[in-house]
Amino acid sequence: MKEVNMVSQRHQQDYRLQELGDFLRTRRARLTPEEVGLPRGGRRKTPGLRRAEVAQLVGVSVDWYTWLEQERPITPSTQVVERLCQALRLDANERSHLFLLALQQSPPVLSPEPEIVSPALQRFLDQFGTRPAFVSGRCWDILAWNDAGCAVFGDYRRMSTRERNTLWRLFTDPASRNFIVDWEDDARQILAQFRSSSGRHPGDTQVTELIHDLMLHSPEFRAWWPDHEVRSGQEGRKTLNHPQVGYLVFERLTFQVFDTPDLKVTVYTPLEEADTPRKVEQLLEQWYLRVGQGPHPPQAVHHLPQTQLSGQDTVGWWLAACGKRVERAWVANSEIMISYANWCEAHGYEPKKAKGVSQSLATHGLEIGVNKRVVDEHRRRKMARGVRGLVIL
């Protein structure tokens, strides 16, 4: 049996080295010397870079790199693999694949990218109806949600970024201790899950700041964090004691977004216990009445900003309330900024600057910076910048 296992391991090793060699050859073949800043040189028999050119870019000998492509059992360092990624212009998926082939491990985490929830993912949340659902990021900030999430857990639209942080709200909001049944057990579980996920981002400034602030503000966090408890997954029952309807029992399921693994989707499915489905429907009806237009989802609420950044998407809310998408329509930047500023003032929000508004409009699928000849108040024709596909109501 031991000999069979050894043979199997050798076969796996041979297959991995073959895949590594093939992968390096195909990535090398798709690049030209000009693309990597090298002179083209004389006539070439094969397309792409030569082995000697890749070795020069990486800073290793030609023989060593040749052995790597020839499936020799050599183990490069993390630094060399990182330089190979840069030399061969690999994207994030290719980089991960190369690290797995060369070192049988995932690559080190690079500087975190902006956490953006795609319109498709927001539509996915909206389809859950009476099941509260939301998306959280690497710091466990709630980045996007559906109406049922607001109805059960509170109006995320009105919260600051820190208030929407799961850990911060759990450990510093006194109301959470009454809201969550078995608060200590739940808090310890979530803390262990956060400890596990934060290990993927050592040195991340946002994670470090959150931990520091929690150590200052929560005696429980300060006492439990040094225990180094780790746990994966957020699946199981969740019992809440809602101030309006009493006990609610859910089945909680969390899963990662494949294309953006730092994003997690959490869905709460109401169980029949404690008459939970009916109570959630009641909370949702009350939510729609509070936000404005009868017992059915109002257009401006049901289609909350489809792209949520870490921060309040006031542009998305303004679009839902004051804008209408019309094909080939055009509206000037000045009219947009006046309408947006007036809406923010009326609703108590701090308006974004012009650059932030433009970026938010782009994330909502609107075409920015279109020039059009218009007539000003003095009947003079001039070129003005604006947004295509939008009408201000």
307: pLDDT confidence band, cut at 50, 70 and 90? very low
Tell whether 125 and 79 lie within a shared domain.
Answer: no
Query: What value does the mean pLDDT take over residues 275-285?
Result: 93
Q: What is the pLDDT, as a whole number, of residue 35? A: 78
- Residue 251 lies inside a defined structural domain of this protein: yes
Number of domains the chain is built from: 3
> Where does a domain end: 302, 324, 357?
302
- Residue 307 lies inside a defined structural domain of this protein: no
Q: What is the pLDDT, as a whole number, of residue 251? A: 95
Instruction: Output 283 or 115, whichever has higher pLDDT.
Output: 283
Would you state the torsion angle of the CA atoms of residues 229, 232, 233, 237, taken in this order, to the nearest 10 degrees?
-30
214: pLDDT confidence band, cut at 50, 70 and 90? very high
- Is residue 129 a contact partner of residue 375, using CB atoms and an 8 Å limit? no
Query: What value does the mean pLDDT take over residues 124-135?
Result: 93
CA distances from 152 to 7, 93, 183, 250 (A): 56, 37, 17, 11
Q: What is the pLDDT, as a whole number, of residue 301? A: 36
Tell whether 72 and 123 lie within a shared domain.
Answer: no
Query: What value does the mean pLDDT take over residues 156-181?
Result: 93
Would you state the torsion angle of the CA atoms of residues 119, 121, 123, 127, taken in this order, to the nearest 10 degrees?
180
Instruction: Output 344 or 99, whichever has higher pLDDT.
Output: 99
Query: What region, left, alpha or beta, does residue 17 occupy, with left being phi > 0 and alpha being psi -120 to 50 degrees?
Result: alpha
Query: What value does the mean pLDDT take over residues 320-344?
Result: 81
Q: What is the pLDDT, as a whole number, of residue 149? A: 96
Query: What value does the mean pLDDT take over residues 98-109?
Result: 82
Tell whether 333 and 261 lie within a shared domain.
Answer: no
pLDDT exceeds cutoff 80 at 20: yes
Q: How far apart are CA 131 and CA 146, in angstroms?
A: 9
Q: What is the pLDDT, as a whole number, of residue 342? A: 81
Tell whether 218 and 179 lie within a shared domain.
Answer: yes
Q: What is the pLDDT, as a whole number, of residue 305? A: 36
For 129, the domain range is 119-302
- Residue 109 lies inside a defined structural domain of this protein: no
Tell whether 157 and 259 lie within a shared domain.
Answer: yes
Tell whether 173 and 294 lie within a shared domain.
Answer: yes
Across the chain, what does the average pLDDT equal? 82
pLDDT exceeds cutoff 60 at 309: no
pLDDT exceeds cutoff 90 at 329: no
Q: How confident is the model over 292-304, as pLDDT tens digits?
A: 644 444 433 333 3
DSSP assignment letter at 107: P
Tell whether 96 and 152 lie within a shared domain.
Answer: no
Query: What value does the mean pLDDT take over residues 1-14?
Result: 65
* CATH assignment at residue 60: 1.10.260.40
Tell whether 98 and 135 lie within a shared domain.
Answer: no
pLDDT exceeds cutoff 90 at 144: yes
Tell whether 326 and 276 lie within a shared domain.
Answer: no
pLDDT exceeds cutoff 70 at 8: no
Tell whether 258 and 130 lie within a shared domain.
Answer: yes
Query: What value does the mean pLDDT take over residues 140-152?
Result: 94
pLDDT exceeds cutoff 60 at 138: yes
pLDDT exceeds cutoff 50 at 164: yes
Which segment, 13-17, 209-213, 367-371, is predicted with the most confidence on average?
A: 209-213
pLDDT exceeds cutoff 70 at 182: yes
- Residue 286 lies inside a defined structural domain of this protein: yes
258: pLDDT confidence band, cut at 50, 70 and 90? confident
Tell whether 125 and 98 lie within a shared domain.
Answer: no
Q: What is the pTM of this model?
A: 0.57
Instruction: Output 17 or 45, whichever has higher pLDDT.
Output: 17
The type of residue at 92 is A
- Residue 108 lies inside a defined structural domain of this protein: no
Query: DSSP per residue over 119-138, as a string?
Result: HHHHHHHHTTTTS-EEEE-T
- Residue 54 lies inside a defined structural domain of this protein: yes
Instruction: Output 390 or 10, whichever has higher pLDDT.
Output: 390
Q: What is the pLDDT, as a whole number, of residue 355? A: 73
Query: What value does the mean pLDDT take over residues 280-288?
Result: 91
> Where does a domain end: 50, 75, 103?
103
* CATH assignment at residue 268: 3.30.450.180
Query: What value does the mean pLDDT take over residues 57-86?
Result: 87
* CATH assignment at residue 372: 1.10.10.10
Here the tokens at position 367 are 């075409």
Q: What is the pLDDT, as a whole number, of residue 298? A: 41
- Residue 361 lies inside a defined structural domain of this protein: yes
> Where does a domain end: 72, 103, 134?
103
Tell whether 337 and 272 lie within a shared domain.
Answer: no
- Residue 114 lies inside a defined structural domain of this protein: no
pLDDT exceeds cutoff 80 at 104: yes
Instruction: Output 250 or 324, whichever has higher pLDDT.
Output: 250
